[in-house]
Structure 1
Amino acid sequence: MKIVGITSCPSGVAHTYMAAESLEQAAKDNGIEVKVETQGSSGPENVLTADDIKDADYVILTNDVEIQGTERFKGKKVIQLKAQQIIAKSDALMKKLLKM
């Protein structure tokens, strides 16, 4: 399984990167390939390519503010949660996705 995601928060600092780290760790722990783009205060980092998105089974948008470029995910299975939810429940989400 492959997942891509974008994380963003109002300040563009702490929760953006904490959510990305939580997703990456939970994916690793569950044997899932993941790539997470961060849209923090210093701009987009680890930007998702068209191939990343095409190959993904799921897209996880983790945001408390508007994410740039969501039109890239048209036709994909998108899960949208707040940063705090992802930080607290990434592992449970990965386990649920594996069962779907």
Structure 2
Amino acid sequence: MKIVGVCACTVGIAHTYIAQEKLEKAAEKAGYDIHLETQGTIGTQNELTPEDIADADIAILAIDVKIKGMERFDKITKMTVPTDIAIKSPNKLMEKAAQVIKQRQNA
């Protein structure tokens, strides 16, 4: 499974990058390919390209604030969760993403 996403918290410091790290480790553990963009106080890093998004199975948006470029995800299945969910339960989030994709494929 190929995942893209954005992490962004209200302050744009700690939770943004902790969520990114937790999601990347959980995806790696599950054998998934993941590319996460961060939108923090130092700006956008690891920016997703239109091709990254088009090639993905799902987008995980671990966000506590409005993000720049939300419309990029209009044509992809997405899950939006607060950063604390990504931090506290990243493995369960990966399981849920897999379930959502499976349901979409069976629809």
- Matched to 1:28, the amino acid is E
Q: Percent identity?
A: 44
- Equivalent pairs, count: 100
Question: TM (normalized to structure 1)?
Answer: 0.96
Determine the structure 1 residue equivalent to 2:30.
30
- Matched to 2:16, the amino acid is T
Structure 1 segments unaligned to the other structure (5+ residues):
none
Shift, 1:94, TM fit: 1.0
Shift, 1:98, TM fit: 2.7
Q: Which runs of 4+ in 1 moved over 6 A?
A: none
Deviation string, structure 1 residues 32-73 (Cα, Å, up to 9, x no partner)? 000000000000000001110000000011111111101111
- Cα distance between partner residues in 2 of 1:18 and 1:97: 19
Question: TM (normalized to structure 2)?
Answer: 0.90
- Cα distance between partner residues in 2 of 1:98 and 1:80: 14
Report the aligned-residue RMSD: 0.9
- Cα distance between partner residues in 2 of 1:96 and 1:6: 17
